[in-house]
Structure 1
Amino acid sequence: MADVEPEKKAPTEMDEEISMSRGMRAEVRINFDKCRDMFVFDQMGNKIRFGDIYKKQKTIVVFTRHLLDFVCQEYADDLAIIPLEYLQEVDVRLVIIAPSPHNLIKGFKKVTGLNYTVYCDPNYELFKAMGCVESLVFGKVQESVHVKSGIIMGILRSTWRAMQQESRLRNGDVKQQGGSFILGPGDVLHHAHIDQNATDHAKINDLLTIAGVQNVSFPKDRRVLEL
């Protein structure tokens, strides 16, 4: 006899404001009623409704620092390593949202080798609505498994990369920190990590594990998920 999946109960916590943080930090609450109808921009400048991003499938949404920041770029270097088939096997999507002008997306993807979708929230409205914080605290690069450069070399690389981009554009607020969320399908929050400083981003393999995706070996994080 086939197994019967238990009936799933509809959310009862305010329906429009669901919370389900599984980390050790303070519980994260998302007002989906507000956030789902906010817009981000693709690299062509088209407006994309945030709620449509995670409407049909479970989605790892990574809110980064601005796109010319070396911490953001080196984190994206590791996101680029994730094989697409790992996500497709479990019907999970990966999306990056940055607090930068959309004009920087094309160059950012070229520099990092990232083939996943990148959107921008240049006025930080969605960042703030999702609970992302502002902070000038940088953090310790040695505590991140995704930052490969030291601070001085990283800043020099960021400056050089910025010179290759359209310098007339504002890059984004250096105080704006990001966060990582696992959402969907629909208005469901599976996990949230709010970055408290520049190097406080979630470990990518932690996000993959929570989302049910096979782990990947990164240069500074060589663990793999043994099935």
Structure 2
Amino acid sequence: MADDQEETVVDFEKLQDLFVYDESGQNVRFSDVYKHQKTIIVFTRHFHCFVCKNYIEDLGIVPHENLQTADVGIVAIGPAPFKFIKTFKEDTDFSFPLFTDPERKVYKALNLQENLVHGDSRNSKHVKQNLFMGTLKSTWNALKVGELEGNIKQQGGAFILGPGDVVHFAHIDKNSLDHTPINDLLEKAGVDPVSFPKDRR
């Protein structure tokens, strides 16, 4: 079951032999991420993106007990080299598994888009900074590191997959602010909602 966009097709056969990387650089078969459990999988933009940081910060506060009750997992995947995972998790207090797909093979297999289109932050329930200040901070952080933490054109998406080759929900982001509200993902996965500053429940 896909979202209200045009039908999103997940080619599980194509995904079967693709890998993502953990913090230590070990490869993990992508299909193993959702093999045994219904899993919310969020694909981010590059790790300097303030929109993604704000979103992952909020995703990280979903109570583990709510997920355990519903038998649902949460995983995030970024298009950066694995060496940036630790810092990104520390910056966002993200307590769930985070993998990277530096060559973006999974991103491409899922037809996630490449563009430099920015959306309207007023439509986001998770962005806490205005576009100007957020972009300025992102640029400054990139300059400090001296290296891009992912392709800046790569957009993200959100899927609820598993257990096994089952699609419960699929959304491909059209721009940097087209992310699915986290409570919408939780609702579609059968998890109790969470109260966020811009999405009171």
TM-score (norm 1): 0.86
Q: TM-score, normalised by structure 2?
A: 0.96
Taking the TM superposition and a 5 Å limit, the aligned residue runs for 1:57-206 are 57-162=37-142, 166-167=145-146, 169-206=147-184
- Give the letter for the 2:49 counterpart: D
- Deviation of 1:110 after TM superposition, in Å, equals 0.6
Say which SS state the counterpart of residue 94 (structure 1) adopts: strand
Identity in percent: 51
What is the deviation of 1:170? 2.9
How far 1:159 sits from its partner (Å)? 3.0
What is the aligned-residue RMSD (CA, Å)?
1.2
- Matched length: 201
In 2, the alpha carbon distance for the partners of 1:25 and 1:58 equals: 21
1:13-52 mapped onto 2 (5 Å cutoff): 20-21=1-2, 23-52=3-32
Structure 1 residue 161, shift from structure 2 partner: 3.5
SS at structure 2 position matched to 1:209: helix
- Structure 2 distance, partners of 1:92, 1:24, is 22
**What residue identity is the alignment partner of 1:44?**
S
* Structure 2 residues not aligned, in runs of 5+: none
- Structure 1 spans left out of the alignment, 5+ residues: 1-19
Question: Which structure's residues are more often helix, by fraction?
Answer: 2
How has the CA–CA distance of structure 1 residues 91 and 139 changed in structure 2, closer, same or farther, with 3 Å as cutoff?
same
- Tell me which stretches of 4 or more aligned residues in structure 1 moved more than 2 Å: 159-164
C-alpha distance after superposition, 1:75-95 (max 9, x if no partner): 011111111111011110000
Highest relative contact order (Cα 8 Å, sep 6+), 1 or 2? 2
Give the structure 1 partner of residue 198 of structure 2: 220
CA offset digits 1:89-120 (Å, max 9, x no partner): 11100000001111111011111111111000
